[in-house]
Amino acid sequence: MDIYKFLTQLGIDYQKINHQSVSTVEEAMFINEQIDGVACKNLFLKSSDKQFFIYMMTVEKRADLKYIAKQIGSKRLSFASDEELVELLKLIPGSVTPLGIINDNKRVKILIDRELRAQRLLIHPNINTATISITYDDLLLFINACGNEYLII
């Protein structure tokens, strides 16, 4: 399903900006000057028992995988492979986004850093040549509409 059409069907108001392809936080820093919101870093992770997660955090933060694993009751977390990203979310490396769960079969859980609450969030709309700004509440609405689980960490 087209991500923009789905957002509109859900009544989610978003701002969009098109830009050159960006694959890293450093490459994307110019976007903050052009659209309102908090830039998010999204990591595609898997647990030792093969559960998959997208962890969302501010770009300034470093991910503490041991802490996150403890919060979700897992022994260990690691980065999922590029092949798993393509297989589960139909995304290419460098475009990890919670909106990718539109392509998921309810296997990927979204982990949201508590610092993102009550913010406008800047995330890719399943491609890394555009960025959208949506509210935190609208992100939760989207996740629920897709039938996936989320956890605030």
Provide the token pair at 54.
């997208």
**What is the structure's pLDDT at 134?**
97
Question: What's residue 23's pLDDT?
Answer: 75
Over range 107-120, report the average pLDDT.
94
Residue 98's CB: how many other CB atoms inside 10 A? 26
Give me the pLDDT at residue 47, please. 97
pLDDT digits (tens, 9 = 90+) for 5-60: 999 999 999 999 999 888 777 777 778 778 889 999 999 999 999 999 999 999 99
Identify the pLDDT of residue 27.
75
User: What was the pLDDT predicted at 34?
Assistant: 81
Residues counted in the chain: 153
Given a cut of 80, whether residue 121 has pLDDT beyond it is: yes
Q: Is the pLDDT of residue 131 over 90?
A: yes
Residue 36 neighbours by CB distance under 10 Å: 9
What's the confidence (pLDDT) of residue 20? 87
- Rounded Cα distance, 39 and 130, in Å: 13
Q: Is 100 a residue whose pLDDT tops 90?
A: yes
How much is the mean pLDDT over the chain?
93
Q: State the pLDDT at residue 30.
A: 76
pLDDT higher than threshold 80 for residue 1: no
Q: Is the model's pLDDT at 93 over the cut of 80?
A: yes
Percent of the chain scoring above 90 in pLDDT: 82
Q: Which domains does the chain have, with CATH numbers?
A: 3-152 (3.90.960.10)
CA dihedral of 65, 66, 69, 71, whole degrees rounded to 10: -110
Q: Give, in degrees to the nearest 5, the angle at Cα 105 between 100 and 93.
A: 35
Supply the pTM of this predicted model. Answer: 0.93
